[in-house]
Chains A and B, each alone.
Chain A
Amino acid sequence: LAKTTQPISMDSYEGQEVNITCSHNNIATNDYITWYQQFPSQGPRFIIQGYKTKVTNEVASLFIPADRKSSTLSLPRVSLSDTAVYYCLVGDVYGGATNKLIFGTGTLLAVQP
């Protein structure tokens, strides 16, 4: 399983764009990159997933360079309600019973007014 490295914490202000970068140097060919968000006292929630280049949904964008050794989660115009922990995960899309999600400690994003 590829290990991921993220910043422990980040600060931002309302209305700014926030980019959280995740390093996964040992990513394998079959691995996808997924980001989850966790608010205090709640379970994690899926944000976005991608394999290469760029993926965008109504919440965020995910940028993956050609070598796939890192990825960047981009949150446009954050608000106070985006304060949460963000987890970057890497996993084998073809994995069966042996596939597991490894969450790590995540990045605590604190958005200030």
Chain B
Amino acid sequence: NAGVTQTPKFQVLKTGQSMTLQCAQDMNHNSMYWYRQDPGMGLRLIYYSASEGTTDKGEVPNGYNVSRLNKREFSLRLESAAPSQTSVYFCASSEAPQHSYEQYFGPGTRLTVT
């Protein structure tokens, strides 16, 4: 099992450009999440999907959109990138959205917006 995979690993964008970060999991998990982590900071939840067909905002959703394409895939889109979105983005999945279920994280996407 690959677990949680993310593409790309690195990306540089110019201000105003758009891009989609891809995430896939092969653990048959129901819930998926997108976080961002700024230097020296903890992770902050952007959006999550408790189950296929549902998405909801997290702590910092502004400037992002998500799509739960199917049970395996959850993508994060930046429509018009801004320097403030320079960060490391982590995707995660869990069997269920309750806190008692362990979240499995991908390796991250390092995004720089100039």
A residues bordering B, Cβ < 8 Å?
31-32, 34, 36, 41-46, 49, 87, 89-106
Across the interface, do B99 and A91 meet the contact criterion of CB distance under 8 Å? yes
- Chain B residue, CB-CB nearest to A51: B100
Known contacts A32-B99, A44-B105, A100-B58; A105/B50 CB under 8 A: no
Across the interface, do A101 and B45 meet the contact criterion of CB distance under 8 Å? yes
User: Given the complex, which residues of B lie within 8 Å of A89, measured CB to CB?
Assistant: 99
User: Given the complex, which residues of A lie within 8 Å of B4, measured CB to CB?
Assistant: 43
- Interface mask (B42-58 → A, CB under 8 Å = 1, otherwise 0): 11110010100010101
* Complex Cα–Cα for A44 and B4 (A): 12
CB B26 to nearest CB in A, in angstroms, measures: 16
Selected contact of A99 from candidates B41, B92, B97, CB within 8 Å: B97
Known contacts A43-B92, A87-B42; A96/B103 CB under 8 A: no
11 A/B residue pairs, CB under 8 Å, sorted by A: A43-B90, A44-B43, A46-B102, A90-B99, A91-B100, A94-B98, A97-B54, A100-B58, A102-B45, A104-B42, A105-B40
User: Given the complex, which residues of A lie within 8 Å of B44, measured CB to CB?
Assistant: 103
Please provide the chain B residues from 88 to 106 with a CB less than 8 Å away from any CB of chain A in the complex: 90, 92, 97-100, 102-106
Across the interface, do B103 and A32 meet the contact criterion of CB distance under 8 Å? no
With A99-B99, A100-B58, A105-B41 given, name 15 new contacts (CB 8 A): A34-B99, A42-B105, A42-B107, A43-B90, A44-B90, A44-B105, A91-B98, A92-B98, A95-B98, A97-B50, A97-B56, A99-B98, A100-B45, A101-B33, A103-B35
CB A73 to nearest CB in B, in angstroms, measures: 16
